[in-house]
Amino acid sequence: MAKDIQGFEALEQQKNDKYMIGITVMVILLVMTIGEFMLGEVGASSNGWIWVLILIGVFKAYMVVREYMHIGRVFSPDEEEH
């Protein structure tokens, strides 16, 4: 019985850790989006900022795919069969 409780607590801790990572990534994406918008407003008249905006957009897309779409699980060998 104690082993079941420890397993449950470990599972809950894993869930909490993953939840906090998701929230942190969401905040990072929010800050980057605000910065991207402001940079776009300030640098709209010059073409020099376009590469910075593209790099920010690519990094944000990478973060979304990695954290929210779980693309790593597709190539993971330890996928559980249902």
Question: How does pLDDT run across 32-76, given as a tens digit for each residue?
Answer: 999 999 988 887 677 778 888 889 999 999 999 988 887 777 777
Q: Is residue 82 scored above 90 in pLDDT? A: no
Comparing CA positions, the residue from 67, 60, 66, 61 lying closest to residue 20 is 67
Q: Where are the domains of the chain?
A: 23-71
Distance CA 35, CA 43 (A): 12
Residue pair 7/13 in contact by the 8 Å Cβ criterion: no
Residue pair 63/28 in contact by the 8 Å Cβ criterion: yes
Distance CA 16, CA 71 (A): 20
Q: Is 77 helix (H, G, I), strand (E, B) or coil?
A: coil
pLDDT digits 0-9 by tens, 64-80:
998 888 777 777 777 55
Cα-Cα-Cα-Cα dihedral sign, residues 16, 18, 20, 22: negative
Rounded to two decimals, the pTM is: 0.73
